[in-house]
Amino acid sequence: MSLPVSDLLHDHVSYSMNFDPVTNVWTIVPAAAVTYYGTGAPAADQIRNAAEEKKS
């Protein structure tokens, strides 16, 4: 099983910057959100939804 890119990026940054345990946990959600929006996933969702609407 592979880890999502957001997990790998977060782990690398938190290790490199020596985050304390609390900061490390607090940065998980923002890291996931930034990675999600950076991939263009919302645009892909809109394209998929438009294609499904066109079918019906």
Q: Is the pLDDT of residue 1 over 60?
A: no
Q: Is the pLDDT of residue 41 over 80?
A: no
Q: Is the pLDDT of residue 2 over 60?
A: no
Please answer whether residues 33 and 4 qualify as being in contact, where contact means their C-beta atoms are separated by less than 8 angstroms. Answer: no
As a whole number of angstroms, the distance between CA 39 and CA 32 comes to 11
Q: Which residues contact 28 (CB under 8 A, 6 or more apart)?
A: 10
- Go through 12-49 and write b for each residue having 16 or more CB atoms within 10 A of its CB, e for each that does not: eebeeeeeeeeebeeeeeebbeebeeeeeeeeeeeeee
Instruction: Tell me the pTM.
Output: 0.47
Structure tokens at 43: 């645009």
